[in-house]
Amino acid sequence: MEKYKDKSLPPKERAKDLLGRMTDEEKACQLSSQILFDVLGDEYKKRDFRLGSFRNPGHFMHWKNKKTSDPEEVAHFINEDVRKTTKTSRFGIPPIENGEALHGAQWGMTTCFPQPIALAATFDKDLVSEIADVIGKETAAAGVRQVFAPVVNISRDCRWGRTMETFGEDVLLCSDMGEALTRGFQNNGVIASPKHFVDNYADGGRDSNESHSSQRTLYEVYLQPFKRCIQKGGAMSVMAAYNSVDGVPCSANRKLLTDILRGEWGFEGFVVSDYNGVEDVCRAHHLTENEVSAQAACLNAGLDITLPNPSENRVLEALKLGLIDKETLDRAAYRVLYAKFKIGLFDDPYADEENINALIRSEKHKKTALKGARDCMVLLKNEGVLPFDVSNVKTIGVFGEGADTVPIGENYSGPYKGWRADDAHTPFTYLKEFAGEGITILTGENEKIPDIAPLCDICLYFTKMLEGEGRDRCNITLSKNERVYDDGTGKEKIVDAVKAKATEDQENAIITMFEHNKNSAVILLNGAPVDMTGFIDHAGAVLEAWYPGEQGAQAICEVLFGLVSPSGKLPMSFPKSVGQLPLYYSYKPSGRGYHYNENDGNPLFEFGYGLSYSKFNIGGFRCSVEDNLLLIEYDIENTGGYDAAEVVQIYTEGRNCCVVRPVSELKSYKKIRLKKKESAHVSQRLDEEAFSFYDVDLKYGMFDGDYIIKIGTSSKNILQTYNVRVRNGKLFI
């Protein structure tokens, strides 16, 4: 038996043996991929079964169909594609069927979870791990074995349209959530590809613009989540970003793809380009005179697979011209083969068609989506308005364009043309079901608010935002008037060409609603902070619901009417105005001040902030050192009238270090769930990592310094502090 067929041998040995049997053309094909849109039409006839990666056809099967293909149909189609590819290969090499899975598997009608920014707002690693496991299972169930997720770019300027795809502004929170998603994929035999490596937006929140970050900022901030996804989450792939760093496009950046990724971190997987990222080294960045030279530059730098279109001819031409050598070709092909063996793709390449329907969007999975939606809600303001008492409500006024949309967000969810399901509710439809026949619901356009609002016991306004990939914003107010976005009809976008518009002056409508009915609430449906200064003083209650996913409408109603106490915390600072951007809590000290002439520099709502319907008493703090770990202990009691949860957050402020440290850094957090009147004794530990940083030479370690330990319920609301110090790698109180 050939070694590569021997299942008892290690993946590396099998990959090395197979590589030695392959021709240069076969190797080049393993580095090439393909995307086809009309997979049920003539376009699928262009399928090249020699290639090593293919954009899973399940995503596009629903495009021109009147009905959405069911999971079994998708699995069967993907299995047939795998079967034909495997048969075409002399060695039976299966393809990597790839796709997206930002907040749910994107090959069809799978469970749709809250957007990543909302998952971060849960501040609950265990819950996100549970969600990640479901997404991993539903991804693998159809035969999709690589995903271009999670997005672990840290967003510190909410003008960036893709902020909703991220886990916010904080290094620890983003790293934790990214690791959880990565592990959920990898544990289910799906290759995770954290993206976009690295620093994928620039001044003003402009997507994929040149990075101006220093090497120190890259190491301290933007590289950290990727490092965690690889070293702790087990990611077997990484997606290079479009932008350039220090004058070199990320796809052709040897410092990033070889020196850091593999040399410093020990990464053994493969690197993929973003869509057309290799070609854009020539076409956009003008670094090379032609695309063959661009292909060579990327391969030599450490990139392996080119997405999304065939590239094998460019690879072979580069080899023929001497722009790459055989060692480079072999190295890249080996990485791909190793990953295929590592996840068991060679030995078990097919999806289970018979059992997939029972798994996808099962009741268990939908309940997990509901848990995520409930936990991500952040109560921003409440002047005695919430929760509403349904027994005292006979008439409800519902306004805003967001009320008529399933609150999932428009990106990377479901099949091509968008996620949709007969059992998924909009806030309006679920509210009707929740209220029942005894309650009247009135609604109308904004101009009808003065007439309708006074007739109602309570009023609700659901907002709508124009944001997402390709929709960076120069201001962050609620979308208003006739603003139309059209992203064109260009192909090679995994989201459909769409037109989105907001036709209402939402700020004025909200103010009008509160003027005519004080017993009202605003529900924000958005993926990034918004400027609320125009209406916040008029509002009695504001609930940040984000895009909470397919079960979000139910979760919103449960929170509004007190069945669930909100427990989410902000994963991003909410600014008072766009002029404060970029804004984040963990800035480094200023030599003079932090404010503008017209602004005190403080956010409207700080990182980690979030209200509850209940009240918590936190005290009895104790601080000790055990085995060079800092142990923080405290007692917490839910003294209010609701079962609820609080997130206790521990920050450090480093002083007298060899380099300037941020004024505050989150180092630990714990979500504590307590029934009303219940109490608990809780401990949190800060390990050596919490006191480590990069010195003047960018060497990482636990260097001498003095620290203020700050314990609280947000980055601003600090309840207790302690002073500790590090000397010669040892921690002292």
Helix (H, G, I), strand (E, B), or coil: what is residue 463?
Answer: coil
Encode 397-461 in three state secondary structure.
EEECHHHHCCCCCCCCCCCCCCCCCCCCCCHHHHHHHHHCCCCEEEECCHHHHHHHHHHCCEEEE
CA 273, distance to chain mean position in Å, is 19
331 and 412 belong to one structural domain:
no
Do 400 and 413 form a contact (C-beta atoms < 8 A)? no
> Does any domain span residue 587?
no
**Which residues are CB-contacts of 363 (< 8 A; sequence separation ≥ 6)?**
none
Q: pTM for the whole thing? A: 0.96
Residue 364 is assigned to a structural domain of this protein: no
**346 and 450, same domain (yes or no):** no
Together in a domain, 679 and 707? yes
In a domain, 609, yes or no: no
Residues 318 and 441 in one domain: no
pLDDT of residue 493: 55
- When divided into structural domains, the chain yields a total of 3
Q: What is the mean pLDDT of each run of 10 residues along the chain (733 residues)?
A: 96 98 98 96 96 96 86 98 98 98 95 98 98 98 98 97 97 98 98 97 93 96 98 98 97 98 98 98 98 98 98 98 98 98 97 97 98 98 97 96 92 81 94 93 95 98 93 89 52 53 84 98 97 96 98 98 98 96 96 85 96 98 97 98 98 98 98 98 98 98 98 98 98 96
Are 347 and 481 in the same domain? Answer: no
Mark whether 104 and 247 lie in a shared domain. Answer: yes
User: Which of 357, 385, 405 is the last residue in one of the domains?
Assistant: 357
CATH number at residue 151: 3.20.20.300
**Contacts with 333 (C-beta within 8 Å, 6 or more apart), sequence order:** 19, 22, 27, 28, 30, 31
Contacts of 369 (CB under 8 A, 6+ apart): 111, 112, 113, 114, 131, 549, 550, 551
Residue 602 falls within a domain, yes or no? no
205 lies in the same domain as 341:
yes
Residue 325, pLDDT score: 98
Instruction: Give yes or no for a contact between 669 and 682, defined as CB atoms under 8 angstroms apart.
Output: no
Residues 342 and 461 occupy one common structural domain = no
Let me know whether 196 and 340 are in one domain.
yes
Q: Residue 319 falls within a domain, yes or no?
A: yes
Q: Provide the β-strand partners of residue 211.
A: 245
Q: 496 is in which domain, residue-wise?
A: 369-580
CA atoms of 413 and 108, how far apart (whole Å): 8
Give the closest residue to 649 by CA, choosing from 607, 712, 605. 712
Q: Are 53 and 78 within one domain?
A: yes
> Which domain-ending residue is among 301, 335, 357?
357
**Residue 400 and residue 342 share a domain:** no
The tokens of 441 are what? 């619901």
Is 423 a domain residue?
Answer: yes
- Is position 603 within any domain? no
The identity of residue 64, as a single letter, is: K
Q: What is the pLDDT of residue 485?
A: 52
> Does residue 604 form part of some domain?
no
The CATH number assigned to the domain holding 483 equals 3.40.50.1700
Domain boundary among 530, 563, 580: 580
Q: ω before 310 within 30° of 0 (cis)?
A: no
How many angstroms separate the CA atoms of 194 and 184, rounded? 13
For the beta sheet containing 146-147, the strands, ordered from the edge strand earlier in sequence to the opposite edge, are: 33-34, 53-55, 96-99, 146-147, 191-192
CATH of the domain at 627: 2.60.40.10
Which helix (H) or strand (E) segment holds residue 635: the answer is strand 629-638
Same domain, 574 and 637: no
186: closest CA among 406, 339, 352? 339
| SS3 state of residue 331 | helix
Query: What is the per-residue pLDDT for 489?
Result: 41
User: Which run of H or E residues covers position 329?
Assistant: helix 326-342
